[in-house]
Structure formats: C-alpha cells, structure tokens
Amino acid sequence: MNLCFIFCLISTSLVFTFVSAGSNVTYDSRSLIIDGQRKLLISAAIHYPRSVPAMWPGLVQTAKQGGVDVIETYVFWNGHELSPGNYYFGGRFDLVKFAKIVHEARMYLILRIGPFVAAEWNYGGVPVWLHYIPGTVFRTYNQPFMYHMEKFTAYIVNLMKQEKLFASQGGPIILSQIENEYGFYENYYKEDGKKYALWAAKMAVSQNTSVPWIMCQQWDAPDPVIDTCNSFYCDQFTPTSPNRPKIWTENWPGWFKTFGGRDPHRPVEDVAFSVARFFQKGGSVHNYYMYHGGTNFGRTAGGPFITTSYDYDAPIDEYGLPRLPKWGHLKELHKAIKLCEHLLLHGKSVNTSLGPSVEASVYTDSTGACAAFISNSDDKNDKTVEFRNASYHLPAWSVSILPDCKNVVFNTAKVSSPTNKVAMVPEKLQQSDKSQKTFKWDVLKENPGIWGEADFVKNGFVDHINTTKDTTDYLWHTTSILIGKNDEFLKKGSEPVLVIESKGHALHAFVNQKYQGTAYGNGSHSPFTFKNPISLKAGKNEIALLSLTVGLQTAGPFYEFVGAGVTSVKINGLNNKTIDLSSNAWTYKIGVQGEHQRLHLVDGLNNTKWTSTSEAPKGQALTWYKAIVDAPPGDEPVGLDMLYMGKGLAWLNGEEIGRYWPRLSEFKKEDCVEECDYRGKFNPDKCVTGCGEPTQRWYHVPRSWFKPSGNVLVFFEEKGGDPTKITFARRKVV
C-alpha cells in the first residue's frame, strides 16, 4: 500500500526558480539543512499518474495555498518500463513535466523512486514481466531482481540529472527514495533480506548523488541511512541514531477503499492532533499520504478489489477540489507551526507534565523568545490547566499552540474553517448528432466462451495470473459435458447444481450461452465458491467460465507468487451423483474479443460490426456499448454515474476511465456511524460510512479528456446493467 519508504537525499543542494545556483542539502539531529539553514518542512503526496497533466498545476497550487512546502510522489516503475528497456514517460506518466511544474511553483520535491512502491498500486509498482524472468524473486538478495531494480533506479536518476532537476543543479528535488518499508518484510526473508537491504542502500549511494539516505521502518538501518516513521501517529518515534532528524514519511489523513468494503473517514481534528504532537516532540519533516489521492485510472488499481477512486479522504479530493473543513483547518495548523519554526529548530526544549495526560513542551532561546505546545491526550475529558501563571482550557485529545508561550493561536480540536458540501449534479448524456431524435447507442454482443482460435487446451486448470501475465483481467475456460436423453434428472425435471471453487478474484459462469451468475472473493487471496442450479439438455452442454482478476497483490512477503483462478468445477445432483469436471480437457482463451478488436479505442478495427439502436439492451452480459456525446456544460469536474450498471470497464476517447463496479458494501448498518468522535486513536474501521451502499458510484472523467462534442464513450459490461441510466455528474460545491 502507501507504506513507508527509504529516502535518499538525492542532491546536496536545492534552489527555487528565482535562484540561479544550487544549494547544499545536509542534515543534523534537528532537521534538514538547506544552504546552511535548518528547515521545518510540510510535504504533500500527489501522485502524478493518479491525476492528469492538466490538473497538475492546480493541485500543486492548492497544496501551496494550504501551507505546504514540498510535493512528494512515488515513481511508478511498471508505468514507465513497459517491457525490459522499453521506457514510457508520456501523458499521465510525464514525470519530468510534473517535476518542472513543482519547480515553477517554487516548491521542493520528494522523489520516491522505490522502485517498489506498494501504494495500493497494481503489483506494488513492479512490472509483471519481471516475475517471469527465470529465477527472479522480488525484494530479496536475488541477482535478476537486483539487476533490473538497479537499472531502473539509475535510469530515473540519470533522467533527473539530464533535466537538471536535482537541487544541486538548481532543481526542486531534495529527497529521493530507494525501496519501500522493507523493515516490515525482511524477517520473512531472514538473512537474505538483511543482505538485500544493505545492498539497496549501497546501490543508491553509488548513484553519484553524494547523498545521505533515509529508510522508513528499517529498524536496523545501516549508516549513513536514516530510519523514519509512518503511521497514524509518529509523535513517539525516535531515530535509532541521535544524529539523525525526526522524519514522518507518511501520515494518513484517511484511508483507501475496496469494492464491497466500507468508506473510511479520518476526522480533521485527529489529523491535526497527530501533526501538532509530532512537531511538539521534535519532528521536522512531515508528509501527508495522501494530500490528493486521485484516481486509479485504467487497470492501475491494485488489490485485489482496490476501487478506481483513490480519494483517500484527503485534503484535496479526488476531483481536485479542497475538502473543507479538512484542507482549511490544516492550513491554519501549518501557519501556527511555522510561527514556531525558529524555536522548534534552534531552541532548547523542556517537557513538563501539567497533570494526568497533559504535557507542555516549551522551546526557548538565548534572546528570551519562547514557544509552547500544550497537549491533552485524554480521549474523553477536557482539562483546564495553569501554565506560566495563566489558565488554559484544553479540549480532550487536542494540542494548543502558543508561539509566544502566552497566546493560543490554534487548537487542533477547534475547527473554524468553513465546511463545504459537495454534490454530484446529474447531467444526461447528450448525443453529438443533433439530427437524431432519440439517443443512439452502438452495441456489440460477445458470445460466451472461446472466440477465434483457442490459445491452448489443457487437462485441468492453470493459474490465471501466470497465464494472462496481467495483459488483461479476463481468461476464458470452456469444457463440455454430454447428457443422455434418458438420464434420470431430465425425466424428473430437477436441476443439478454447478459448484465452482476459485482462489480469486471473481468469475462469471455461462451454460449453453446463458449467463448463470457471478461470484467473487474477499480478502487478500480472495478464495470463493460459486453455487448455482443450472439447466442442462440432452446432448452436448457447454460450460464457459470467464475468470477475472481485479487488481494484483500490492505488497507482502513473496507477494508475486500469490495466484488466482479456478481450482475445481463440479456438478452436484446429476443422476444423484457428483460429476467432477476439474480434470476435463479445458479450452483457454486470454482476454475478451472486444479487447483484441480494440473496441475501446477511437481507432478500433474498422471491420467491427456495431449494431445501432435507440433501445440499448438491458441486463445483457458480455456487451459493448458506444455512444458519441457532448461534453457536460460548465467547467466543474466530471464524474460518470454507473449506479445501474453491473461490472466492467469504461473509456472516453480511448482514455481509460477504469474498472467500474457499483458493488454494495457488505458492512452492516450498525458498522457505520452518523457522526464520528474524533477523540482517541484512529483506525480505518473507526469512522466508516456507506454501509449497504455502492462502494463507488461515480467515476472521475478528467475535463481535459473531453472535446466540445464528438466524444466516444465506450463501456464493456460483463454481467448486465442498464446503460440508459448512465449519466454524467458535475461535482459542484453547493
């Protein structure tokens, strides 16, 4: 997931756009030091491929207006190295353009090269092709993995050098990452893992960037590597070396969602409490993960079952709008902390207990200047305390900031920022051809099962991921069974039961071309069982199974070896017997036909025969829909309302909107809250909403993807829905 990481100070210097020379970057026990000046830094995670280039300037400026100094992003290996040595840096993956936009905004940049990132991103950001290079084991002291990891890391470092983006060259990059939260997993890899972690650190240093390194959750980080923290709370974190600054690499202001899961929210009072406590306890670099979560466009969502939305309940929402009061309250917090910056970084500190759960941290210098943080960590009771001959009221679970040790300029529990309410205002699809009196759809129905020539035939089952290599979500399995016309169950009119077992992630079942139902798993390995009565006829009966992946594993020890797919197929109640089809000859086909015909692209194969209709079929599985539409009016962000569809993929003008699946949350009503109590330590199940509702109803379609008219909107519906109820929605502050 968004887990912690190993940073490196890629450059020994930094400068903004208005300075022509580079600046030296070092550190001591208090902070990073830039050109001889200690710096207190507030950073915001914004992942460039989870938005689009047209959004980047606005996102960066909104973060800056929120009191942020630094933008942080991962580098997504599998988005850049599409096959060995085949690199891509266009569109949403234009890393150089993103870095230059940060530079133009006169902000710093943290570049988390990884190149393993986790981050709820498909396969943790590692290219799937790497798993199929013989002998490769991810994130271990393994020569094939280390070779390709070092090669990609060097490529990114050299690209940044060529574009003069490191601080020493006058660019914005002050920090960079190698690996990602390895300390969580090295015990699984044992001594091999320790060797790999040490190698990774040495490899990064060898990139000729003259850098100190930072490694998150690497409790035995070797010198000169600095260990850092990521969590909901890092105030008690202490670096293993007294000569290293206290850095919080990930503070989670919300959490991600999964299809069928809950909708978690972290109250801003608690986020502010955690940040204020971190700086109260001597922290100097703080990063929000995420500040803008964005969207997992296309098939980039990991999982299984990570939603297309990666909103994260972040200060800037998925569509690029400030989330109030969260954004505004944190902006005021940042102002208050900055008022204390000099004393936090240069003053002497004294911590004093003012009573149970109440603590004052006082920073002073030789001039007599004074700043104080007074915290009440009681999660139930307000407190009134005496501090320097004055009385102060402290709400439960709050921190008061006093830049002069007298006047409270900010309390984390007192929210004065306005609250905005955001609505998704529906807009009917408007077709571009105004000569048509009724809305026209182009429709193409696929037949269940094998299309064209089979890819292969095999007795028994194959692993889904090893077969598709993640080139598609889809893998067809077909077999047949002969039924005699005198079989007993036909005479009785009884229906046998099709029973399918799978280790993930989902499947759609068809018998004799008829859709029988869908099943899917839960949890990291997603095992599930499909059971459904089926009708069989005398003679040959075809059973066709469309196995699905819904995002690959993103992290964990040896996660690349976690498989998926069908493991058993039986028919119960066939003449009072169970027939096991598992060892049958199964015919396989990778992908669905429309993918191969490029129906989702504007330049799809010209010989594809769409059927035009004013009455689009409803409830029909394996169906492609296409409409030519106008852009929604106005300039607000746009979502696509897919509430009445089943499951599938969507595109606009060939751009991948992503997987849609209005799957209902399986959490019970009593698991949700109407109002969240911010007091006390947070966890992702504390403040959940959306129980019994679709986990994701609206799907972000960036405005920059639209033309005024003639927009090609394409859907592939797997199980059946009602396309006539699809609408756009403008995200509007009301």
How many residues make up the chain in this entry? 734
- DSSP labels, 606-638: TT---EEESS---S-SSEEEEEEEPPPSSSS-E
Q: Do 678 and 397 touch, CB atoms closer than 8 A?
A: yes
Residue 524's Cβ-count burial label (10 Å; 0-12, 13-18, 19+) is middle
With a CB cutoff of 8 Å and minimum separation 6, the contacts of 399 are: 272, 273, 276, 277, 280, 373, 374, 375, 376, 411, 412
Q: Do 527 and 534 touch, CB atoms closer than 8 A?
A: no
Across 463-504, the runs of DSSP E, i.e. the strands, are: 474-483, 497-502
CA count, 13 A, side-chain hemisphere, 271: 30
With a CB cutoff of 8 Å and minimum separation 6, the contacts of 638 are: 631, 632, 700, 701, 702, 703, 706, 728, 729, 730, 731
Query: Given 150, 179, 186, 250, which residue is catalytic?
Result: 250
337, 343, 344, 350: CA torsion to nearest 10: -120
What number of helices (H) and strands (E) belong to the chain?
A: 12, 43
Residue of 194, 307, 285, 193 lying closest to 239 (CA atoms): 285
Within 10 angstroms of residue 457's Cβ, the number of other Cβ atoms is 12
Query: Given 72, 181, 269, 718, which residue is catalytic?
Result: 181
What does the block give as tokens for 607?
Answer: 């010989």
Across 47-163, the runs of DSSP E, i.e. the strands, are: 70-74, 81-83, 86-87, 108-112
The reply to whether 693 belongs to the active site is no
- Rounded (5°) CA angle 11-212-178: 85
The reply to whether 250 belongs to the active site is yes
Report the SS3 class of residue 12: coil
Tell me the catalytic residues: 181, 250
